[in-house]
């Protein structure tokens, strides 16, 4: 299904307007345009090394899903559709990038790939000083630059828009719209704050460390997993009770399971407390 959606974005939006996405798909589009051969041939050929590499690193299931996705995409792009749904480049870039990103995101979410550029980026990260994100951006910068020479610089700029839209759509598809937040709260009144959060969002919290006035570090530490829509509401409520509370909020991916109200990791039960003294 992810490959079918990706093919629809390519066939009905990007390809008829001479736009491209990044990665192996972008290189394949350029090669097909220059040679006159079907796009599907290059999608199959250029992705073979990455599928083999994925088999070595991620196993048979990854390879099976990847082969299914790449083969489906190649078959659906073997015959080029000359006219798309829109002929305005900016509309083609935005909607084509969004549809392609959703399709690729579905494949990635369920354990496969239909573009091998990410595999290259991981290898570059391991053998150079560049991160995965920097490697992907560098690879796609070269591809977009080549598109400027082949399709013209105006089309290359529209292709850059399509790439960024697709990249964001992949993130949303893989991570989901209901993105969770993990909120760490350090306060002298964590029990009071925990009860407030329980009433506010009807979700239990986890007390990592309870407040104890006799400690050299009397503050407590609490963890709450909330949705992004509840974040500001919880922060405002905490500030009313304890304006000096220290709050750290981060994105929480794949939040699973259910916390209980009695979920408490007491300070005295930690084996590290016997080895690591409190700060002076």
In this predicted model, what pLDDT tens digit does every residue of 10-29 receive, in sequence order? 999 999 998 988 888 889 99
pLDDT at 267: 41
pLDDT of residue 246: 92
- As a dihedral over the C-alpha atoms of residue 139, residue 167, residue 88, residue 143, rounded to 10 degrees, the angle is 10
Is-contact 22 163, C-beta < 8 A? yes
Are the C-beta atoms of residues 77 and 39 closer than 8 Å to each other? yes
Mean pLDDT within 141-157: 87
Other C-beta atoms within 10 Å of 201: how many? Answer: 18
Kindly report the average pLDDT of the chain as a whole number.
Answer: 81
Q: CATH 3.30.70.120 residue ranges in the chain?
A: 180-274
Taking residues 122-127, report their average pLDDT. Answer: 61
Give the SS3 label for residue 95. helix
pLDDT digits (tens, 9 = 90+) for 239-276: 999 999 999 988 776 666 665 544 444 443 444 334 43
Mean pLDDT calculated for residue range 119-132: 61
Share of the chain above pLDDT 90, in %: 25
pLDDT band at 130 (very low <50, low <70, confident <90, very high): low
Torsion angles phi and psi, residue 225, rounded to 5: -105, 115
Give the pTM: 0.68
Distance between CA 85 and CA 12 in Å, rounded?
6
CATH 3.30.70.120 correct for 180-274: yes
């Amino acid at each position: 299904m992810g490959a079918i959606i990706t093919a629809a974005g390519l066939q009905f939006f990007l390809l008829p307007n001479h736009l491209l996405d990044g990665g192996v798909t972008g290189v394949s589009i350029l090669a097909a345009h220059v040679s006159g051969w079907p796009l599907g041939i290059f999608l199959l050929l250029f992705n073979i090394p990455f599928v083999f590499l994925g088999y070595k690193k991620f196993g048979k299931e990854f390879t099976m899903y990847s082969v299914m996705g790449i083969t489906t995409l190649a078959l659906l792009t073997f015959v080029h559709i000359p006219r798309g749904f829109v002929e305005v480049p900016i509309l083609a870039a935005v909607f084509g990038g969004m549809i392609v990103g959703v399709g690729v995101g579905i494949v990635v979410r369920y354990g496969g790939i239909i573009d091998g550029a990410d595999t290259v980026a991981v290898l570059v990260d391991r053998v150079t000083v560049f991160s995965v994100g920097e490697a992907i951006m560098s690879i796609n910068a070269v591809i977009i630059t080549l598109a400027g020479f082949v399709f013209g610089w105006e089309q290359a700029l529209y292709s850059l828009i399509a790439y960024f839209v697709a990249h964001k759509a992949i993130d949303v598809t893989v991570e989901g719209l209901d993105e969770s937040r993990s909120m760490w709260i350090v306060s002298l009144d964590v029990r009071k704050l925990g009860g407030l959060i329980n009433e506010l969002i009807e979700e239990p919290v986890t007390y990592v460390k309870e407040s104890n006035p006799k400690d050299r570090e009397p503050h407590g530490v609490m963890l709450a997993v909330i949705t992004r829509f509840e974040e500001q509401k919880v922060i405002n409520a905490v500030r009313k009770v304890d304006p000096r509370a220290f709050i750290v909020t981060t994105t929480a991916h794949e939040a699973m399971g259910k916390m209980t109200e009695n979920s408490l990791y007491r300070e005295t039960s930690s084996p590290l407390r016997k080895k690591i003294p409190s700060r002076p």
